[in-house]
Structure 1
Amino acid sequence: MAPKQYTVTGMSCEHCAASIREEVSEIPGVSEVVVDVAAKSVTVHGTDLDDARLRGAIVEAGYEVVDTVAV
């Protein structure tokens, strides 16, 4: 399955990235979470990825998803 990539606001450091990785990694099917703070992007790899759950996990970590990017 193709990865899902999101534009996320509010990230400013590695602690932000770690918080997002931790929340998103708990979702079933997620195999890898790549957070690029400078590019304001979160890319999720895995199988049967649920967009609503991924967005919810990012919000739960304290950040806002502003866009989904086609990968």
Structure 2
Amino acid sequence: MTKKIYIKGMGSEHCAKIVENTLKSLDGVHSVKVDLKEKIATVELHKDVKDDEFVRAIDDAGYEVVRIE
């Protein structure tokens, strides 16, 4: 399963790395690829992760989820 998370507030590679590491730390996440230009994190899952878990983790890291597809 793949989810695309649109994130507001990322402005540098450092920000992208923080988001990537934050999402990778969630149980159920297999891999993460962050596109800084498009402000999208593509997350590959090996089990279901609820959207509110993504929102909480990104918020705790200091960024904002715009939407999840």
TM-score bracket, shorter-length normalisation: 0.7 to 0.9
RMSD: 1.1
Which stretches of structure 1, 4 residues or more, deviate above 6 A after TM superposition? none
TM-score (norm 2): 0.87
Report if the CA contact (8 A) 1:58-1:64 is conserved: yes
CA contact (8 A) 1:23 1:60 kept: no
CA contact (8 A) 2:51 2:68 kept: no
Counting matched residue pairs gives 68
Q: Structure 1 residue 35 and structure 2 residue 22: aligned?
A: no
TM-score by length of 1: 0.85
Aligned sequence identity (%): 37
Q: Which runs of 5+ in 2 are unaligned?
A: none
